[in-house]
Each structure stands twice: as C-alpha cells, then as structure tokens.
Amino acid sequence: MTKINIGKMIAARRKEKDLTQEELAEYLGVSKPAVSKWESGQSYPDIMLLPVLAAFFNVSVDELLGYEAQMTREDIRKLYRRLANAFASESFDQTYSECLTYIKKYHSCWNLVHSIAQLLVNHAPLAGGPDRMNDVLRQASGYFECVEKNSGDAALAREALSLRAYCCLALQEPSQAIDLLEGIEEGPVSTGILLAKAYAMKGDSDRAKRYLQQSIYTNVASLFGAFPDLMALYVDAPEKTDACLQKALSLGEVFQLKEMQPAHYFTVYLTAATLYTAQNRNEKALDMLEAYADIIFQKNTFPLKLKGNSFFDMLQPYFESLNLGGDAPRSDKLIRKDLKSVVVDNPAFQSLKSGERYQKLWRRLESMEEEV
C-alpha cells in the first residue's frame, strides 16, 4: 500500500503554484514554520485544514494525502503465486478468507481485484461441493462486474466481461453469457496491427515486429483453442472429428506450439480421446491419451509458463504485461493432480481400463510426481 505522505504532496503542489511557504501559510492562517514542518514530515496539518488545502490545490483529499490503496503489478503477481500455492497446500477456507481480506484492503485496486477473482475462479472446484463452488463462482463474477464498471481501463474491463461470461457458463447459465457477449463487435483491424503500421512508418521496425508477432500469436492461440469446442460438437460425425483434430495439429505444427506452449495441447488431446471413445474407436482414443501423457512428460512443459520460440522471439514484453506475467493461473502441483485425475478418474474412459495400453498409461500418470 502506498504510504500517506502529505508533506511531499503539499510541497509539490505549492511549487506548482509558484508559492512560497510564507504565502501558503498566510492563505491558510497558520505560521510559516507550521508549513515547513508539514513539508519536512515533522508534523501534519490539522484535519480541518485538509478540505481547505485540497480545494486550494484542486485535488481530492485522498490525492492530497498521497494515499491510494494500490499494489504494483509485480506485487500482485507475487501475491497471486503465493495464494495459488496456498490453495494447493493449505485448507481452502483459510486461503479463501485471505483472498477476501485482500479484496477488502485493496477494494479500489482493480488489477488486484481482477486477479483475486481469477484466483477464485481457478480454485472454486476445491471449495467442497457443487453449491459451495457455485457460490465462489458467483462471488468472483461480482468482482469481475465491479472491475468492468469501475476500473476505467478498457482492456481490463473487456477481460473482466469475458470472465463474467466464463463464470456464467461454469454456472450452467448460457443465456446470461449470451446476454453479456452477444452484440460485442470485434474491430475489423486489431489495435496491435494498427500500432505495428504506425511504428513501421516511424522507422521503429523492432516495435512493429513485436506488435505483429503479438497479434499473430494471440490469433493463433485463440484459433487453436477453438478446435476442441468445435470438435466436441461433432460427436456424431467421426469424419468431422478427424478433420478438426488434423487441422488443429497442423496449425500447431506450423507455429511450433508444442515446443512453445505445450499446455495448449492438453484439451485438444483429451477432447479427441473422449470423442473417439464415444465413437467406439478405442485405439484412436488410446493414441490421443498417450499423446496427452507425452505432453505432460515433455521436458519443457513444467513449470507452465508462457514463452516464445524461434519464430515468436519478441513476445516477452507482451507476456510480462499480462496480469500474471505469463505464469499459470494455478500452482503446478494442482495442475499435475488435475491432469492425472481427468484421465484416471474419468468415467468416459471406463471401456479402456481393462486393456494393456490403458494400464501402462495409468501407471505412467500415477508416477507423475516422481518423473515430472
């Protein structure tokens, strides 16, 4: 939290108005030594003088005090990592309570509120049961709404709106998600592309490259991430399932996503395995589950963190600008646990469990703690 430092604020505002300490003292009806002591931090103005000083300098009392309940982006990231690890190793209620304490303490630090809401969404399944999980999701949605309406940051507000819609879907409320999202128009040309053109015109080719790489990466990641949802709609059309999978994997190969962001593949392979099982194509399902396990045990998978590759070699500033600085939204410990559970505890794969290939896969996933 920023310290209250009214002395420096008074000195700065006085100098902006080109006033001497004596002139300010005369206006306020106090002595020059009193103003001098305020500015040096030896004493503070009488509380009754605060509105007078604020009005004189044309600032709010909070601005005059130099007080704002804020945390730096780096402090928010450190807090998020610590709390994510706490959710993985301590009781949910204890960590949840700490999250709410930070929300109360920094209620107008919108980046912090947004990050805590994300933290709650990502750990709601640990709350203890469906009703409790839904309560946490609704609470997080309320925080996102506050961020959207009050932050004054267009990019943050848009992200908060999207996450509110995500909460609606998690709560099985698709109509509310549609109400939030339908009618929102995407611009014909992204801001990043326009910025790249502007920097190129100024001769700053490095920034132009950076913005274009960012635009291409975000679009590729979004497109890749859409394939599992489309694939899932073709459970009754095996040829469409195959086509979606092939196009997703081809896109990933073109941009080397497996080396760059291996976590992108978890949902693709798991969705394909689930669909192939439902289509009674068990050997193909096992192919997908083995590919899924290969990604988990791939050398560069953990720790999960956004990173570039030989083509996307200028994305680090973009990743650093994100709320979590490229870190995963949950601790690696919880992610590994879920990656294992979503296979070994998944009833969709019941028909595979007696086979030798599945048993080998099961043993491999069970050894995750030792091998990863």
For residues 127 and 120, what is the distance between their CA atoms, to the nearest angstrom? Answer: 9
Q: Would the pLDDT of 282 be above 90?
A: yes
Share of the chain above pLDDT 70, in %: 97
Q: Sign of torsion, CA 365 369 371 372?
A: positive
Q: How many domains is the chain built from?
A: 3
Q: pLDDT for 30-79, tens place per residue?
A: 999 999 999 998 999 999 999 999 899 988 787 788 665 678 889 999 99
Encoding tokens for residue 153? 């940051």
186, part of any domain: no
Tell whether 304 and 366 lie within a shared domain: yes
24, part of any domain: yes
Q: Would the pLDDT of 245 be above 70?
A: yes
Q: Give me the CATH number covering residue 41.
A: 1.10.260.40
Tell whether 92 and 45 lie within a shared domain: no
Encoding tokens for residue 156? 């943050």
∠ CA 51-55-61, rounded to 5°? 50
Count how many residues are written for the chain: 372
The pLDDT value recorded for residue 309 is: 94
Tell whether 57 and 153 lie within a shared domain: no
Tell whether 135 and 265 lie within a shared domain: no
- Write down the residue that tokens 């630090």 correspond to: 109
Question: Is the peptide bond preceding residue 303 cis, with omega within 30 degrees of 0?
Answer: yes
Domain boundary pick from 22, 46, 65: 65
Q: pLDDT for 306-349, tens place per residue?
A: 999 999 999 999 999 888 888 999 999 999 999 999 999 999 99
Tell whether 85 and 17 lie within a shared domain: no
208, part of any domain: no
Q: Is the pTM of this model over 0.85?
A: no
Mean pLDDT, residues 162-173 taken together: 97
For residues 321 and 318, what is the distance between their CA atoms, to the nearest angstrom? Answer: 5
Task: Say whether 128 sits in a helix, a strand or coil.
Answer: coil
Domain boundary pick from 30, 47, 65: 65
The pLDDT value recorded for residue 3 is: 57
Tell whether 88 and 174 lie within a shared domain: yes
The pLDDT value recorded for residue 1 is: 43
Domain boundary pick from 128, 156, 181: 181
Encoding tokens for residue 202? 């100024």
Question: What single DSSP character describes residue 294?
Answer: H
Among 58-67, 88-97, 177-186, the range scoring the smallest mean pLDDT is 58-67
For residues 144 and 121, what is the distance between their CA atoms, to the nearest angstrom? Answer: 11
Mean of per-residue pLDDT scores for the chain: 92
200, part of any domain: no
Mean pLDDT, residues 174-199 taken together: 90
Q: pLDDT for 2-12, tens place per residue?
A: 456 789 889 99
CB hemisphere CA count around 205 (13 angstroms): 0
∠ CA 291-81-366, rounded to 5°? 35
298, part of any domain: yes
State which residues form the domain around 19: 6-65
Q: Would the pLDDT of 272 be above 70?
A: yes
Q: Would the pLDDT of 370 be above 60?
A: no
The type of residue at 338 is D
268, part of any domain: yes
For residues 168 and 163, what is the distance between their CA atoms, to the nearest angstrom? Answer: 9
Q: Report residue 305: phi and psi, to 5°.
A: -160, 135
- Write down the residue that tokens 């730096």 correspond to: 72
174, part of any domain: yes
Tell whether 250 and 320 lie within a shared domain: yes
∠ CA 96-167-92, rounded to 5°? 15
Tell whether 362 and 221 lie within a shared domain: yes
Q: Would the pLDDT of 372 be above 70?
A: no
Mean pLDDT, residues 14-39 taken together: 93
For residues 64 and 57, what is the distance between their CA atoms, to the nearest angstrom? Answer: 8
Q: pLDDT for 190-204, tens place per residue?
A: 889 999 999 999 999
Tell whether 24 and 79 lie within a shared domain: no
CA-based end-to-end distance of the chain: 38
Under 8 Å between Cβ of 323 and 317: no
The type of residue at 130 is P
pLDDT band at 185 (very low <50, low <70, confident <90, very high): confident
127, part of any domain: yes
Q: Give me the CATH number covering residue 105.
A: 1.25.40
Under 8 Å between Cβ of 12 and 63: no
Query: Could you write out the DSSP letters of every residue in 51-75?
Result: HHHHHHHTS-HHHHHT------HHH
The pLDDT value recorded for residue 184 is: 85
Q: pLDDT for 102-140, tens place per residue?
A: 998 888 889 999 999 999 999 999 999 999 999 999 999
Tell whether 106 and 228 lie within a shared domain: no
Tell whether 226 and 360 lie within a shared domain: yes
Tell whether 340 and 243 lie within a shared domain: yes
Q: Would the pLDDT of 369 be above 80?
A: no
Encoding tokens for residue 221? 């990641």
